[in-house]
Amino acid sequence: MLTDDQLRCFRDQGFVVVEDFVDRANCGALRERALELVQAWEPGEHQSVFTTDTQERTSNTEFLESASTIWCFFEPDAFDDHGGLRQPKELSINKIGHAQHDLDAVFERFTYTPALAEVAHDIGLRDPLALQSMYIFKQPGIGGEVGCHQDATFLHTEPLSVTGFWFAIEDATVHNGCLWAAPGGHRTGLRELFKRTGADPVGGADLTRFETLDPTPLPIPPDQLVPLEVPAGTLVVLDGLLPHWSDVNRSDTSRHAYTVHCISESAHYPDWNWLQRTPELPLRRLDTVAA
Ligand SMILES: O=C(O)CCC(=O)C(=O)O
């Protein structure tokens, strides 16, 4: 599936851009389903916000439990001073995560395809488990920044194996918050681990913390990164050590994307990873045939 040039690019740069990987109709179907999930979703008391800010992440029980559910997370700027939504709900959600690829038929069909399994195989991921999925809205006007990070910080195996498969569901530009990546940055060390540290003695819910492995700063966005401006239907494959970032979206155009992170089934997946599936929802290989 991947050409020699694309494979070379992945090895040298730590990412590869594959245009026209998904047709527009399939992107449209996923977009429509994501909006249906948001419309059907009732947050109740738990208006969880997704932000890459440390404090928010460490205190968000819904985030930890979303390993085995479909949860909607609000944009940090979705609320006004009185706690009300500034925009309709469907324009206020930052992302849907993290198990829709195993719980929703439309997401499952988009994810478990022979074409994607072949790309994984081509880059050397011979036994890929589909660990998590995210539908990211990057909403017009209020779309939040995703801080520069390496995916192996958040989804860790020994040896390292996490690989990101990021799909542009809408055109992504520098104006609406496209991905930016550090070419060759996958050859540098892993800076941090994000770990569960056990139950909070007061609240009972699990706590998390960042552990520094290498104090070398991540590349400074956008100076040391290149923008990946891509049309809808493009697949970007990201090495788990590659520093990447996306900016806020202050434009009037959304930038929907869908991302699936896979790990090697044969690698060790420590139980301190934040993402722990319940036994009722085991992980599946990417080459599983969707119903
Ligand atoms: O889509 C984005 O803005 C960020 C996605 C990302 O960081 C990821 O998929 O690892």
Closest C-alpha residue for ligand 1 atom 9? 259
Q: Is the pLDDT score of 53 beyond 60?
A: no
Number of structural domains the chain divides into:
1
Residue 59, token pair as written in the block: 């205190």
Domain that holds residue 36: 4-42+49-77+87-264
130 domain-assigned: yes
Q: Is the pLDDT score of 201 beyond 60?
A: yes
**Shortest-distance atom of ligand 1 to CA 166:** 9
284 domain-assigned: no
Cβ atoms < 10 Å from Cβ of 119: 24
161 domain-assigned: yes
- Looking at residue 50, its pLDDT comes to 63
- Looking at residue 76, its pLDDT comes to 87
94, 246, 261, 263, best to mutate for ligand 1 pocket (most atoms within 8 Å of CB): 246
Whole-model pTM?
0.94
CATH code of the domain containing 37: 2.60.120.620
**Shortest-distance atom of ligand 1 to CA 138:** 3
271 domain-assigned: no
For 111, 113, 138, 157, 225, the CA distances from 30, given in Å and listed in that order, are 10, 14, 15, 29, 29
- Cα pseudo-dihedral 265, 16, 75, 254, rounded to 10: -140
For 75, 228, 236, 270, the CA distances from 258, given in Å and listed in that order, are 16, 15, 11, 25
Evaluate whether 237 touches 10 at the Cβ level (below 8 Å).
yes
Where does residue 129 rank: exposed (0-12), middle (13-18), buried (19+ CB within 10 A)? buried
For 67, 113, 118, 155, 206, the CA distances from 288, given in Å and listed in that order, are 19, 8, 12, 21, 32
CA of 163 to the centre of ligand 1 (A): 12
- Looking at residue 84, its pLDDT comes to 87
290 domain-assigned: no
Sign for the CA dihedral angle at 55, 60, 61, 67 comes to negative
Q: Whole-number mean pLDDT of the chain?
A: 92
User: Between vectors from CA 211 to CA 205 and to CA 214, what angle results, nearest 5°?
Assistant: 165
Closest C-alpha residue for ligand 1 atom 3? 246
The pLDDT > 70 percentage for the chain reads 91
Evaluate whether 163 touches 239 at the Cβ level (below 8 Å).
yes
278 domain-assigned: no
Name the pairing type of β-strands 163-168 and 257-264: antiparallel
250 domain-assigned: yes
203 domain-assigned: yes
More confidently predicted of 54 and 287: 287
Lowest mean pLDDT among 83-92, 181-190, 217-226: 83-92
pLDDT classification of 291: cutoffs 50, 70, 90: low
- Looking at residue 286, its pLDDT comes to 96
Which whole number is the average pLDDT over 202-224?
Answer: 89
pLDDT classification of 48: cutoffs 50, 70, 90: low
Q: Which residues line ligand 1 (CB under 6 A)?
A: 136, 138, 146, 151, 164, 166, 179, 244, 246, 257, 259
- Looking at residue 105, its pLDDT comes to 97
pLDDT classification of 82: cutoffs 50, 70, 90: confident
